[in-house]
Chains A and B, each alone.
Chain A
Amino acid sequence: MDSTFGEKFGIGQPVRRKEDQRLLKGGGKYTDDVSIPGQAHLAFVRAAVAHARLKGIDGTAALKGPGVLGVFSGKDMEADGIGRVITDAALKDLSGKVMFRTKRLAMPVDKIRYAGEPIAVVVAETAAQARDAAELVQVDYEELPAVVTARQGLAKGAPAIHDEQPDNLCLHYENATSEAYDAAAKQAARIASIELVNNRVIPVPMEPKCCVADMDTKSGRLTFYAPTQGGRRVQGAVAEMLFGGDGDKVRHVSDNTGGGFGTRSKIYPEILATCYAAKKLGRAVKWSGDRSETMVSDLHGRDQVDRAELALDANGKILGYKVEMLANIGAWVTENGARLPIDGGGRIVGGLYDIPVLYFSCKAVMTNTVPTDTYRGAGRPEANFLIDRLVEKAAREMGIDIREMRKRNYITSFPYRTQMGLTIDSGNFAKCQDEACKTIGWDDFPARRKQSEARGRLRGIGMTSFIEGSGGRPEETMRLRFEKDGKLSVICGTFSHGQGHATVYSQLLHDKLGMPFDAVSLIQGDTDTAPEGAAGTFGSRSSQMGSMAIIGAANIIVEKGKKIAGHLLQAPPTEVKFEGGNFVARAGSISITEIAKAAHDPAKLPEGMEPGLDETFVYKRANGRDDMNYPNGCHICEVEVDPETGHIEILDFAAADDCGFVLNPLIVHGQVHGGIAQGIGQALTEYLVYDEETGQLLTGTFMDYGMPRAHHFPDMKAVFSPTMSTNNDLGVKGAGEAGACGAPTAFVHAVLDALRPLGVEHIEMPLTPNRVWQAIQAAKRKGAA
């Protein structure tokens, strides 16, 4: 392959992913590919009911099963002094009271809080023996009425999920009192309001949850394999709970992870329980979770019931915005359960609109359902969906063109300080909108609608503009190491589980250090090699946090290299230039790989210089939360609805995204496409149903839970309309979650546009054929009445 320095492999180029050959040919190494000689197998006993007082777990019969090595429950863990995972978020209400935080043992000892909750493990010589014996475990419980929805949770007299918090309210967050909004509303020429559901979804990564825990009894060290989005935090939790906080005793390895979407960034009871069993039995234990288990135990996403109101002047300019969210955070307060709607989404609750006055209230409510946590977008899709649905509704009610309405309200001057205290640094939202309109051919839509009409179909076009806040944790570490063969290794704090980091980081180092594209490789997914402070990949952060840490290290290497080269070429470092991978002075030129070798020979170094050219860099955002980056965009969707059946066909989708500087357009397009597909999944097919009386998940298999498929999508038209982020030197903004922030709203707007002639004004997501048809019938009845 041509790897000479040049434009082909530099940043900004559409370089094909170097990891694909391996991954597509089955060369990935996932957790279930790992087997340790002599390993035992583990099966979980899961709660059959959603809410019950746990009276006893009897493993006597199971222990007699063939090959059974052990049966353990939360009681055993408690007896062994195992700690609990305590919610780390500590948000406060207006009075300063800290939110309710749960202390979760891997398996409960007092109560069952959701159907599918792990309550005991059986370890046996084979997986089949473990499963068979798991069925023999006797669980004695006293069933309690189940609380399934947030509204049920807040109802007077509702059963308490946690006895310590009888009202099931984890936190009622408010940014301020509603006084300022109420005053703005009094001045308003018009009030527009909306009430809608942001439906719960199951994340469904391709790889089910699983774990292999290998206990080395001689060294007392546990190595565990489990899919994650960066292992340090999970390693830390295992060390905390099982090894008294001694991190040296625990190693986590995850070569490849088959999809993350946020749900793989968390600490799972199943992982802790598998590690516990391995430690307890002093041997390797493998748990291969199946799809059915994954559906009821992976943290779910979304689940809000939202009400919002806009106070507007006569021209449609927003004077104030009032939001009341009810977020169903499920049975346990997980890491981001309550933080997600309040901070993840709340931080951009006004979207990309100029909101002078804001009242934002969010009640995070506990229920007998799988806990909810981060899922692609993590609060931002919910916030954007709400504000943009309402802006569009207000435009229609006021008779203002929906494009004009948005333009009247976009934030146009930067930096812009939002009511939630964030500073949005850059963007050109009107330009994005114009680009999207041009891409889809907005102005020619009426002609296309006529063509559809001739076929008996209703055509609709829908738009949305959105913004999100990316960057996640404000610190990331990268280490660059020159190998003996002249190649360069990137020892990562981030973790690529589909993002294409091997390609993008190679491009960066090709650009910054002149390394041949093929001479750069990634080392990731092992806490023994990951640099201190490695955070991982989530919240669309690696393009900024990972890249900036790499550049930081590369800059130091270049400066040091200049000194060494100057020493060897007998030129002052200031006269050494670094060009295309070579240090050039009047007397000659030395390549970076030669300098890297020379750096290990003290004789070749300037006096007093530390040997070696390797470098570790910790990139910190100066201002933590505030100087994240703000990806945004305008998405437009065009659909056809079959009014006889309610079937929806997506005919076209245009996305004009502002992801700042685009490191690799091929990869960013892939992210945009994937995000759109996932967003459409939530809006069209992913119908998740809990039985509201029993708390049983009725859509626990793909026979009932509808995943989006290739046939649902047209060729998507993704274009870039970038403005550079001023918060990092590269100008990059995240790209992973934008699609999921825009697609649901654009799609729903398109369907409502198609159905408007029939009098349909609102349909909750997902827009299943049944719901679409029922909405049409209801509108017909209303029209006839």
Chain B
Amino acid sequence: MYAFNYHRPKSLDEAAGLVAKAEDGKLVAGGMTLLPSMKLRLASPSDLVDLSSVDGLKGITVSGKTVTIGAMTRHVDVHTSADVQKAIPALAALAGGIGDPSVRNRGTMGGSVANSDPAADYPSAVLGLGATVETNKRKIAADDFFKGLFETALEPGEIIKAIHYPVPDAAAYEKFPQPASGYAMVGAFVARFGKDVRVAITGAKDHVFRVPEMEKALAANFKADAIAGIKLSEDDMLSDIHCSADYRAHLVSVIAKRAVAKAGG
């Protein structure tokens, strides 16, 4: 790890100001990606702006058909929240399957979503549930949020405050882990709102994406079999030593099917 300046602001404005002022400032939420990168000397920010003391970023509230989760809420808190378990059990289960207990006790929802790791779990829930990402500047629809590999709609100085999840009628997350890291080699989040269905896939391409042909088929018939014949092109699938593109494309169909079955379809 290289030397850096450390800041612990009390407010979002102060945090945004510190990042803006720094030569190469980075926000740190749970630090589950940033800190290992720094330890390996792969990242060398000049300043770390720690969000852990900023007021109002933690906590879970349910209001009507919306679950709002503060950006600094840890995975373990989402996983064990009775409110989340009741309203969106698929989201609680997803949080309980991220990393290992150490990661779940430090890692935060906002940190994961802002990082847009192609193999992270949370982005599939944000997109699959059609959540709204609230920042210090605006509200961004999930469909407009994830832009690419580690790339989101967040602008410089923009910080996630909370994420608002609509409560679905049924939902499930299923993942097939990469054998070494446990990250999703393919993960599928499926949610049904009345007749509308959303299918979000993580791990397979450079960022989380929806599968309209599956959503259409499931809207007509919310059964696993309804999408059994839908195969995605392997052309823009990720390919690495653990998973070739053709295998990934195949896994998307299988895992999505299993997610639908888990969601009661």
Contact = CB atoms under 8 A, between A and B. Distances in A.
A706, A769, A770: most-surrounded residue (chain B CB, <10 A):
A770
A705 B244 contact: no
B242 A704 contact: yes
Contact of A687 (B176, B180, B246): B180
B180 A705 contact: yes
Interface in B240-265: 241-244, 246-247, 250-251, 254-255
A774 B244 contact: yes
A647 B176 contact: yes
Interface string B1-34: 1110000000000000000000000000000000
A687 B243 CA distance: 12
B250 A773 contact: yes
A685 B3 CA distance: 36
* Main SS at interface, chain A: loop
Interface in B49-84: none
Contact of B254 (A645, A703, A704, A777): A645
Question: For chain B, which range describes its interface: under 10, 10 to 19, 20 to 34, or 35 or more residues?
Answer: 20 to 34
Contact of B241 (A131, A132, A699): A699
B179 interface: yes
B102 interface: no
B247 A770 contact: yes
B180 A770 contact: no
A689 interface: yes
A3 interface: no
B40 A292 contact: yes
* Main SS at interface, chain B: loop
Contacts, number: 51
Given A647-B176, A703-B181, A768-B179, A687 B241 contact: yes
A645, A685, A768: most-surrounded residue (chain B CB, <10 A):
A645
A704 B180 contact: yes
Given A645-B254, A704-B241, A768-B242, A687 B179 contact: yes
A647 B9 CA distance: 46
A699 B251 CA distance: 23
Nearest to A709: B182
Contacts of A444: none
Contact of B181 (A131, A704, A777): A704
Contacts of B41: 131
Contacts of A647: 176
Nearest to B179: A706
B40 A645 contact: no
A707 B179 CA distance: 9
Interface string A693-705: 0000011001111
Contacts of A769: 176, 179, 185, 243, 247
B202 to A, nearest CB: 16
A576 B179 CA distance: 65
A706 B247 contact: no
A645 B176 contact: yes
B251 A645 contact: yes
A777 B244 CA distance: 13
Interface in A270-296: 292
Nearest to A689: B241
Interface string A28-43: 0000000000000000
Contacts of B255: 645
Given A644-B254, A706-B180, A687 B247 contact: no
Contacts of B247: 646, 769-770, 773-774
B3, B40, B241: most-surrounded residue (chain A CB, <10 A):
B241
Nearest to B180: A706
B87 to A, nearest CB: 29
Interface in B199-249: 241-244, 246-247
B262 to A, nearest CB: 15
A162 B2 CA distance: 37
A154 B265 CA distance: 57
B171 to A, nearest CB: 22
Given A645-B251, A646-B247, 20 more contacts: A644-B254, A645-B176, A647-B176, A685-B179, A685-B180, A687-B179, A698-B241, A699-B180, A702-B180, A702-B181, A703-B183, A704-B180, A707-B180, A768-B242, A769-B176, A769-B243, A769-B247, A770-B244, A770-B247, A777-B246
11 contacts: A128-B3, A645-B251, A687-B241, A703-B180, A704-B180, A704-B181, A704-B241, A706-B179, A770-B242, A770-B244, A773-B247
6 interchain residue pairs of minimum CB distance = A706-B180, A703-B181, A706-B179, A644-B254, A689-B241, A704-B180
Interface of A: 128, 131-132, 292, 644-647, 685, 687, 689, 698-699, 702-707, 768-770, 773-774, 777
